[in-house]
Structure formats: structure tokens, C-alpha cells
Amino acid sequence: MNRRTLMIGAGALVLTAGAGFFSLGQRSSLPDLGAANAQEAADVDTSSVVEMAMGPDDAPVTVIEYASFTCPHCATFHVGPAAQLKTEYVDTGKVRFVYRDVYFDRPGLWASMVARCEPNRFFGITDMLYRQQRDWMGDGQPAQIAENLRRIGKVAGLSDDQLDACLSDAENAQTLVAWFQQNADVDDISSTPSLVINGEKHPNMPYSELKAIIDEKLAE
């Protein structure tokens, strides 16, 4: 996915009672983040954002995936190469895997806020979001998407109160947007999924190519 319009905002996140409808302002584009927006994002304290990762901190190889919950290619990568990576390298302690959100649109941010509502459930909810991507995105109607995301959160064990608190947290929404922009700027991210392997950026690829790169890094 490579979208130029980033339909998210630093404005308040609005939850309309009963309808489950969210509204965010419109922001800059990706990859061309404007200088003013980049500076604005750089000034935000994002230290509260939890880095979602699996695998040992001291693993010899670190793989960072930049992905959007609304990106079809990311869903394909999740159930294919990412799943194989976890089994062969993350679960065996050879790779530390870091997942970083990319917010190309409002539903992608909302999905992230549900997944991040309880950090220890993040990867489980992430799996549900990608495997059910077509279902919860539906026909693109915001109110229905919001309701579908709440349903996924409840199936994952989140309460209505938790979901209400997470999805109405405007300050967290602003922080996540700034965090995304900071990361995208540092690693020059313009499409999803993108991978950063031991500091080197790579595009989406089949598992055979990913495995070859990781094996080469492990042999160094």
C-alpha cells in the first residue's frame, strides 16, 4: 500500500455516543510529510507509546515491520512471511520482531487504538484484525467500522469500559500520530509493509528472500 493522503489528525478524536462514530481531522501526506508537520510531530513527547515487540532484546537480528491494519498487502504478509518468521526465528530466540503502526487512514488508527488498549493482548488482536480485515472494514462506512472494531475488541476480552476509554483518548491519538510520523521520517517509510532489518530498509518480499537476508545477518 502506498497512499499519499493521510486521513488522520492531531485534532480531537470524537466518539458519538450510541453510534460508535469517530471523526478525525485531515493531515499531511506520506511520504511527503510537510516540514511544519514534521516539526510539530518532532516536538511531541512520544515516550508513553509502548513498542510492541516479540523475541529477546539481545537477539542478533532485529526485524522492524511497518504496517497498516487497513493494508491488504500487510494482511497477506501477516499470515504468510510474518507467521513463518515468528515460528522459525522469533520463537527460537534468533530474531527480535518489532511491529510499528503506519496510519494511512482513520480506520487504521482506530484499529491500532483497539489493539493497543491492553498491551499484553496486542499481538492476539493484531492477528484477528488482519485475518478479519475484509469483514471489519466492510463497505467503508465509519460507524460500521467502529462497531466492528469494538466487536473484535470484546471477543479478545476487552470490556466496554476499556474500549470506551481507549477509543475516546484524544491525547493518545495525537501521540500515536506523532510517533508514527517520527518513525516514518527516521526510517524513510513510504509504503507498507516495509521492513527494517538490523537498520537496513527493505520492501515487501516473499519469505524465501526474507529468510536469506536473516540467515546472512546471523552468519555475520
The CA distance from 112 to 96, in Å, is: 21
- Which amino acid appears at position 217 of this protein? K
Count of all residues that appear for the chain in the document: 220
Residue 1 is predicted with a pLDDT of: 54
Q: Is residue 7 part of a domain?
A: no
Q: Is residue 5 part of a domain?
A: no
Each residue's pLDDT tens digit, 176-206: 999 999 999 999 998 999 999 999 999 999 9
Q: Is residue 2 part of a domain?
A: no
Grid cell for residue 199: 537498520
Residue 39 is predicted with a pLDDT of: 60
The CA distance from 212 to 45, in Å, is: 37
- Strand 194-197, strand 95-101: pairing: unpaired
Query: CATH number of the domain that 102 lies in?
Result: 3.40.30.10
Q: Is residue 155 part of a domain?
A: yes
- The total of structural domains in the chain comes to 1
Q: Which neighbouring-strand residues pair with 63?
A: 97, 197
Look at 8-12, 92-96, 109-113, 127-131 and tell me which has the smallest mean pLDDT.
8-12
Range of the domain at 18: 14-219
Q: Is residue 4 part of a domain?
A: no
As a whole-number percent, the residues of the chain with pLDDT over 90 amount to 73
Q: Is residue 158 part of a domain?
A: yes
Convert 157-177 to b/e letters by CB count within 10 Å (16 or more is b).
Answer: ebeeeebeebbbbeebbbbbb
The pTM for the full model equals 0.84
Each residue's pLDDT tens digit, 47-96: 999 999 999 999 999 999 999 999 999 999 999 999 999 999 999 999 99
Q: Is residue 1 part of a domain?
A: no
Grid cell for residue 109: 488508527
Q: Which residues contact 131 (CB under 8 A, 6 or more apart)?
A: 75, 78, 79
Q: Is residue 198 part of a domain?
A: yes
Q: What are residue 90's phi and psi, to 5 degrees?
A: -75, -50
